[in-house]
Structure 1
Amino acid sequence: MADSPITKHERHLLWLLAAVQFTHTLDFMILMPLGPELIQRFGISAAGFGAMVSAYTLASAIMGLLGVLWLDRWDRKHAFLLLYVGFVAATISCGIAPSATWLLFSRTLAGACAGLMSAVVMAILADCVPAERRGRAIGTVMSSYGLSAVGGVPLGLSIAGQWGWRAPFWAISALAGVLWLLAWRILPRVDRHLATAREKGTSDGAPTLWAPGLALGWGLTFSVVFAGFLLIPYLSTFMVGNLGLRLTDLSWVYLCGGAATLFSSRWIGHLVDRHGPPRVLGTLLVATLCPFLLFTHLTPSPKAIVAAVFVLFMTLTSGRAIPTIALITSRVPPALRGRYLAVNMAASDGASGLAAWMSGLFLTTTPDGALVGFGHMGFLAVSVSLLALCILWLLGRSPVPQRAAHT
């Protein structure tokens, strides 16, 4: 079963969803390597920049909670198109922002649309791809993260260097506009969950949605993401201010990290299908402890060494999302899947936003741009990862909700 091939129809669907996730991921990621320039241009502090990063994710978290009220009551295609057009408009607004306040508002609007849109994408994937192939399917869609770092972030930084920091946002909105038209034309109706809800009487679904076994999944997602985002928003600033890299070196370093995650995502997805999400996730949670401590305590080093540690960090950290999503989607009935994933996206985005904000409170920047206190954040990230491991163990001992298995 785990080795059954992905059909041609599924492959086309997955690449469309991966392209959509590429625009969403790149829109979020592009702000972080632009951090040193935005801090200088707008005169904001590390905490102010952390708030700008967290606004995107916290807005997404709030929208995810609101999505519980309606997300499974619509055809998923219609919900997706509505949210994606809002994302395009918000990204255009980022490109024309005349001030830090305007940019903060635009990032908030973009996050409100993008996070819930990502939940719809994962619900479409889970509805259209059988459970035995879902790990590889998620790995394919999640490879957009690596593609963003391989091509998107370096290209975006190159565009920013040529035409200014606004240009990457205009490029992202143009690409997203094209993808919106393609989705409108070729994405099929995805409304089987509506019929399932009527047949089985789960249209309300609130008692099952908030069952302890499902709520643990949200806690798992929160802790996995929180650990990584204590560090991720400040990696570029740390590499420039503490490790001695130049701004021009960031494109090369992100290219290496992105290339590694691009290839590792599908491999990890294959492992998930073969060995099961819990075993793969547990292994990755333990494996990330080393790069968390290694990177945050790294001293000024040659560019090749920094890139190697960065590759290890990004490959293992980003890979944890694949078994996490595969695990929680396998436990949710289809009629509840959209709303459950909306809350799960809220947990993910809330974790990343709160983590970025918390790190900003504890980190300080010296006059020469170095971060102080980053090593302490590394120890905190390790502690939260161990907490995630405990939640994974509890989740394995909780019963799978009725009608969730094999859906």
Structure 2
Amino acid sequence: MTVLSAPSPAARERTLLWLLAAVQFTHVVDFMMLMPLGPLLMQRLGLSATRFGALVSAYTLASAAMGVLGVFWLDRLERKRTLLMLYAGFIASTLLCGAATGATGLLLARTVAGACAGLMGAVVIAIVSDVVPAERRGQAIGTVMTAYALSAVAGVPLGLGLANLGGWRSPFIVLAGLAGVVWLLLLRFLPRVDGHLSHASGAAAAAGFTPRLALGWGLTFTVVFASFLLIPYLGAFMVNNVGLSLTDLPWVYLVGGAATFVSSHWIGRMADRLGAARALALLLVATMAPHLLFTHLPPSPLPVVAVVFVLFMTLTSGRAIPTMALVASQVPPSLRGRYLAVNMAASDGASGLAAWMGGLLLSTAPDGTLIGFAQLGWLAVGISTLALGMLWTFVGRAVRLDVTPTP
């Protein structure tokens, strides 16, 4: 296994991280751009709202299901080969999305794309955790996760622009072409990552999935669940309750995405400096104020809304960085890929369940105003408090089980 320790050139590590960030960027854009394409797809393919909802959920559900199945094989292969194989499947299925002639073909292609994307994310984090030393791992994960912010800033607006110019198929075709270029760069520059294979054994696999490690999945679930109670409804709340126009909304998301892109690096460095557990605890507490402030926001001018939204998004999205660094650090390399695959499934399941629960708890007034969003903010704070308790239990059990007590 190649380890990028102090003597290794810093440029090599940066190249590796930005290549992995490019992988994340392509599959995040693939997931995110379908939602704003909804009106166009519903018109061109004759979809009902329910059938369009199935297109969106197929991606996440397939990702969660494949994450669970990844337990059985993901750590048995060299990681570069695994990533290239999954990424090739993602590229082919994205290309098939652009070639689909009807709703059924598009649904099948989206399902395959989601299945590949979920495991890709697990393999990417496993590679970072295997290759980058622990003292730089938080910042490295922060670099890779800037892909999410960059998707909001550049990927989705460009996708919508392509759809307006060339129809709904063109974003998928162009994205598949971009991913193809990234695949070739991975083939050329990604080192072989196989150190986990030398530690693999049946006994290690049996010992890997203990109640302590299952707490890591629960921690990820609660952190993501609290966020996605609110995130799917932010746009509707800003337009219908706070008073923004639809033309203001892209600018608010653009500013929020740009701020998140910058803050991801800072949060990664903070996780390295303070430790992932302490950084996550601080962020869980810090997000409670913007969650309550945003969900109780009265009609306000655009600059005020933008400031509150930036605070909300930078802190909320930043929680994923120390969460991922923490759970990855608790798992030996021989089990890391499988463990993170289930962790990704927990994240996908949490986002889907939280969005569904949020929709059940909200109602819409005749004028379009969302009713119950303030109460949803309090519920998100309660779930974040539960995540704090799980964090304390997870870290405490890790110390008690993994460190030999001093006589």
Contact 1:58 1:354 in 2 (8 A): no
Say how many residue pairs are matched: 396
1:4–1:109 Cα change, 3 Å: same
1:8–1:226 Cα change, 3 Å: same
- Whether 1:187 aligns to 2:190 is yes
Q: Secondary structure at the match of 1:78?
A: helix
Contact 1:230 1:356 in 2 (8 A): yes
What letter matches 2:282 in structure 1?
T
1:182–1:225 Cα change, 3 Å: same
1:367–1:167 Cα change, 3 Å: farther
1:342-383 deviations in Å (ceiling 9; x for gaps)? 111111111112212222333445666554433333222222
Per the alignment, residue 317 of structure 1 pairs with 316
Aligned-residue Cα RMSD (Å) equals 2.6
Contact 1:227 1:381 in 2 (8 A): yes
Distance 1:363 1:33 in 2: 21
1:23 corresponds to which of 21, 26, 36: 26
1:183-206 deviations in Å (ceiling 9; x for gaps)? 122222111111122xxxx34534
1:71-105 deviations in Å (ceiling 9; x for gaps)? 00001111111111121222233334555555444
1:291–1:87 Cα change, 3 Å: same
Contact 2:330 2:398 in 1 (8 A): no
Q: Secondary structure at the match of 1:248?
A: coil
Once the 2 structures are TM-superposed, how far is the Cα of residue 33 of structure 1 from its aligned partner?
Answer: 3.9
List runs of 5+ in structure 2 lacking aligned partners: none
Distance 2:101 2:344 in 1: 30
Distance 1:354 1:119 in 2: 20
List runs of 5+ in structure 1 lacking aligned partners: none
1:392–1:114 Cα change, 3 Å: same
Q: Secondary structure at the match of 1:236?
A: helix
Per the alignment, residue 356 of structure 1 pairs with 355
Q: Secondary structure at the match of 1:398?
A: helix
Once the 2 structures are TM-superposed, how far is the Cα of residue 211 of structure 1 from its aligned partner?
Answer: 1.1
Per the alignment, residue 233 of structure 1 pairs with 232
2:136 corresponds to which of 133, 137, 149: 133
Larger displacement relative to structure 2 (133-142 or 172-181): 172-181
Per the alignment, residue 250 of structure 1 pairs with 249
Per the alignment, residue 296 of structure 1 pairs with 295
Once the 2 structures are TM-superposed, how far is the Cα of residue 9 of structure 1 from its aligned partner?
Answer: 1.6
Q: Give the TM-score, by structure 2 length.
A: 0.89
- Whether 1:111 aligns to 2:90 is no
Per the alignment, residue 335 of structure 2 pairs with 336
Per the alignment, residue 70 of structure 2 pairs with 67
1:48-75 deviations in Å (ceiling 9; x for gaps)? 6655443322211110110000000001
Distance 1:35 1:230 in 2: 21
Larger displacement relative to structure 2 (378-387 or 120-129): 378-387
Detail structure 1 runs of 4+ shifted over 6 Å in the superposition. Answer: 3-6
Larger displacement relative to structure 2 (297-306 or 185-194): 297-306
Contact 1:56 1:353 in 2 (8 A): no
Per the alignment, residue 154 of structure 2 pairs with 151
Distance 2:245 2:37 in 1: 13
1:293–1:48 Cα change, 3 Å: farther
Distance 1:33 1:236 in 2: 11
Q: Secondary structure at the match of 1:188?
A: coil
Q: Give the TM-score, by structure 1 length.
A: 0.89
